[in-house]
Amino acid sequence: MLAGSAGTAAFAGGPVDEDLVIDGEVEIITRAPAPEGHPLDEVLSGWLFREPETRALEADTFANPAMLGVDAGADIWNTVEGTEGKSCATCHGDAAESMKGVGAHFPKWDADSGKPINIELQINKCRTEQMGAEAYPFDKGGQKELTTYIKHQSLGEPVSIDLAEGDMQSWWDKGKELYYTRFGQLNLSCSNCHEDYNGSYIRADHLSQGQANGFPTYRLKNAGLVSIHNRFRGCIRDTRAEFPAAFSDDLMALEVYVTWRGTGLSVETPAVRQ
Amino acid sequence: MAAVKPRVKVPKSASAGEVITIKTLISHPMESGQRKDNDGNAIPRQIINKFTCEFNGQTVFTCDIDPAVSANPYLEFTAKVNEAGTFKFTWVDDDGSVYTDEKEIALK
């Protein structure tokens, strides 16, 4: 079976037909039937669109450069911070147990704020409300490492979010509207690249379906961890548009929708990409 | 400096006489001493300057490291295993800190 989904331009290279098993132990679902109402037949992990050397880095936790970030996240998990004298571990114990499966089901509905909440914001909520510590500024202070560590505890678990909770459905609707909106001087929407032309090339970049299951991801381009809101902002910036603030309502709606678009794929955090 | 953490990959077992590949990694900024901070002052050098691997008390591999090696040095080398035993890995920092790790290997 070739590139999988009937609705995409598969002739310009397309995804590879290979399996990802990390350290020969953890099976990663890189192809899954799309959920009900999805425009594509099959959802594909970005891993399938990368060069063989890049794919090999993710298959070996020793070679995956982001595992050092996971180790750093583990240190943060155990570090006491804030006026209450607590660390994450004080309440949540061993992350391998308490956080197992958690990352696969975010963003969730947060009744307190009346908005969806992702792992980064949940960390900040715990820090400010439970630990008496300051919220992390976007992408700083250890936010990326700690988010990666938490999500990594769900490695292999299929992504699924609950759209029935609270008002998630209307945020999904907003996210879907944004996904198909053309932005910027280049007048590109998310769907133009990631739905219409995944498998083709934009200049030298091999387009994937733009899934969220591997975030925070190690990008070789940055030689470091990249968070999903950073990537949203980067993509919109690349259309030569003004890009929204991280964790703004627009980007939270987009995160809900884009996460849903990858339903069924395994959490790969930290993935390795170009 | 963030916690310095060594990681080592050694096969769990080998046949007598087999040549195995050992991979080592240590998280360390390897500050070369050439960089300057925002105020223009040189950031002082701090690197891992020596790495040693011993097996059952005998030196297998050792190297002196200079500032050209970048952060999180990855060292991979081979060793011939004739008996079961323990590999001991040692990294020495400029400031005198010594980081170690150990891995056992059995004979098939």
Q: How confident is the model over B20-38, as pLDDT tens digits?
A: 999 999 999 999 999 999 9
Q: What is the span of the domain harbouring residue A73? A: 68-152
- Give yes or no for B5 touching A (CB within 8 A): yes
Closest CA to A116 of A251, A268, A272: A251
Domain assignment present for B75 = yes
Domain assignment present for B36 = no
Instruction: Report the CATH number that the domain containing residue B81 is assigned in CATH.
Output: 2.60.40.10
Domain assignment present for A13 = no
Mean pLDDT, consecutive 10-residue stretches, chain A (274 aa), reads: 44 80 95 96 96 95 92 95 97 97 97 98 97 97 97 98 97 98 97 96 93 97 95 97 97 98 98 96
Residue to substitute from A60, A62, A78, A218, interface B, most B β-carbons within 10 A = A62
Query: Which residue among B9, B23, B72 places its CB closest to the CB of A68?
Result: B72
How many Å lie between the alpha carbon of A254 and the closest alpha carbon of chain B? 34
A72:B72 CB<8 A = no
B9:A62 CB<8 A = yes
Instruction: Report the CATH number that the domain containing residue A94 is assigned in CATH.
Output: 1.10.760.10
- Using a CB-CB distance cutoff of 8 angstroms, which residues of chain B are in contact with residue A72? 2-3, 27
**Token pair 């704020």 in the structure block, residue:** A113
Q: What angle do CA A50, A267, A228 make, to 5 degrees?
A: 75
Q: Which chain A residue has the Cα nearest residue B1?
A: A72
Structural domains in chain A (count): 2
Task: Please determine, for the modelled complex, whether the ipTM score is greater than 0.90.
Answer: no
Active site residue A193: no
pLDDT tier at B1, thresholds 50, 70, 90: low
pTM score, whole prediction: 0.87
Q: In this predicted structure, what is the pLDDT of residue B4? A: 87
**Token pair 């961890």 in the structure block, residue:** A225
Q: Which residues touch A254 (CB under 8 Å, ≥6 apart)?
A: A175, A178, A179, A190, A232
Inter-chain CB pairs, A–B, below 8 Å: 18
Closest CA to B63 of B50, B54, B73: B50
Domain assignment present for B38 = no
Q: What is the span of the domain harbouring residue B12? A: 5-31+44-107
How many Å lie between the alpha carbon of A61 and the closest alpha carbon of chain B? 10
CA atoms within 13 A on the CB side of B24: 27
Residue A127 and residue A168 share a domain: no
How many Å lie between the alpha carbon of B9 and the closest alpha carbon of chain A? 8
Residue A48 and residue A82 share a domain: no
| pLDDT exceeds 60 at position B5 | yes
Residue B50 burial (C-beta neighbours within 10 Å; 0-12, 13-18, 19+): middle
Q: In this predicted structure, what is the pLDDT of residue A6? A: 43
Q: In this predicted structure, what is the pLDDT of residue B40? A: 95
Spatial distance between the Cα atoms of A270 and A72, rounded to a whole number of angstroms: 13
Q: Which chain A residue has the Cα nearest residue B23?
A: A62
Contacts 24+ apart (CB under 8 A), A203-209: A205/A274, A206/A13, A206/A49, A206/A50, A206/A274, A207/A49, A208/A15, A208/A44, A208/A45, A208/A46, A208/A48, A208/A49, A209/A40, A209/A43, A209/A44, A209/A46, A209/A261, A209/A262
Spatial distance between the Cα atoms of B56 and B42, rounded to a whole number of angstroms: 42
Structural domains in chain B (count): 1
Residue A94 and residue A206 share a domain: no
Residue A181 and residue A210 share a domain: yes
Spatial distance between the Cα atoms of A33 and A48, rounded to a whole number of angstroms: 15
* The amino acid at A242: E
Q: In this predicted structure, what is the pLDDT of residue A84? A: 97
DSSP strand pairing (A224-226 vs B5-9)? unpaired
Residue A242 and residue A225 share a domain: yes
Q: In this predicted structure, what is the pLDDT of residue A225? A: 97
Residues A109/A103, Cβ–Cβ less than 8 Å: no
- Tell me the two tokens of residue A56: 């090999």
Closest CA to A49 of A95, A12, A16, A1: A16
How many Å lie between the alpha carbon of B76 and the closest alpha carbon of chain A? 11
Domain assignment present for A10 = no
Residues A235/A228, Cβ–Cβ less than 8 Å: no
Q: In this predicted structure, what is the pLDDT of residue A14? A: 77
Closest CA to B65 of B36, B38, B28: B28
Domain boundary among A117, A152, A187: A152
HEC per residue, chain B: CCCCEEEEECCCEECCCEEEEEEEEEECCCECCCCECCCCCECCCECEEEEEEEECCEEEEEEECCCCCCCCCEEEEEEEECCCEEEEEEEEECCCCEEEEEEEEEEC
B3:A68 CB<8 A = no
Q: Phi and psi dihedrals of B18, rounded to 5? A: -75, 145
